[in-house]
């Protein structure tokens, strides 16, 4: 499966001990990632720190469907679906107006695609192959400067998940209820207890 190459390649800095700066000063680059060698309480503190940065406002977990669809009414259907489908199927990754990326089955069947408009890159719109809106990624105002976070909502306004991007290499991933899913460091994902659980080849 090809991954969305602009925003979801979403997330270099690291945690040292249990001391954290304020969000505007959080984790500068150049510190080596040390998740496996941390004490458990240090990992737990890191997980909670980034969770609070993303979920401090309970309202983020759900947006009323009517409100959500009103806000994104211009994007509920991709009016250029046929053009985007053809371009992405042929390997295109951008147009004059937007960055594009497809998600494929068996590397050749396009089942979904994403669009990030260059005039408003904080938002990424995911569509079915038929051009119907499925998800919206909303990044914090600091995007594309690290650190920042991104929340993904379904087309009904329900939160689907969230990621805190410390750097391109380092990302903390959470379920919609705030449960910690794992931390990506380059090609590897680790769980709360520092056990490797996933790998990727397109970070």
**What pLDDT shows up at residue 11?**
26
Q: Which of 2-6, 32-36, 49-53, 65-69 has the lowest mean pLDDT?
A: 2-6
Enter the pTM of the model.
0.78
Q: How confident is the model at residue 111 (pLDDT cuts 50, 70, 90)?
A: very high
Cβ density class 137-162: b for 16+ within 10 Å, e for less: bbbbeebeebbbbbbbbbbebebbbb
Residue 28: pLDDT over 90: no
Nearest-angstrom CA–CA distance, 152 and 61: 10
**What pLDDT shows up at residue 58?**
64
**What pLDDT shows up at residue 25?**
36
Q: How confident is the model at residue 122 (pLDDT cuts 50, 70, 90)?
A: very high
Structure tokens at 115: 């669009």
Residue 97: pLDDT over 80: yes
Average pLDDT, the chain: 83
Average pLDDT over residues 37-46: 95
Contacting residues for 87 by C-beta, under 8 A, at least 6 apart:
95, 100
């Amino acid at each position: 499966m090809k991954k969305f190459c602009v925003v979801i390649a979403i997330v270099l800095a690291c945690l040292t001990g249990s001391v954290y700066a304020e969000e505007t000063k959080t984790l500068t680059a150049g510190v080596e990632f040390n998740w496996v060698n941390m004490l458990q309480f240090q990992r737990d503190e890191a997980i909670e720190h980034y969770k609070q940065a993303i979920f401090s406002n309970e309202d983020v977990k759900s947006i009323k469907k009517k409100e959500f669809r009103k806000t994104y009414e211009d994007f509920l259907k991709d009016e250029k679906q046929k053009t985007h489908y053809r371009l992405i199927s042929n390997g295109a990754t951008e147009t004059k107006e937007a960055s594009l990326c497809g998600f494929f089955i068996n590397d050749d069947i396009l089942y979904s695609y994403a669009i990030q408009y260059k005039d408003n890159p904080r938002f990424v719109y995911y569509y079915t192959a038929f051009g119907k809106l499925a998800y919206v990624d909303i990044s914090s105002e600091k995007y594309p400067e690290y650190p920042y976070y991104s929340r993904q909502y379904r087309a009904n306004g329900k939160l689907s998940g969230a990621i805190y991007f410390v750097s391109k290499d380092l990302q903390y991933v959470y379920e919609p209820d705030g449960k910690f899913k794992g931390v990506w460091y380059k090609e590897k994902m680790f769980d709360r207890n520092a056990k490797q659980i996933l790998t990727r080849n397109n970070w």
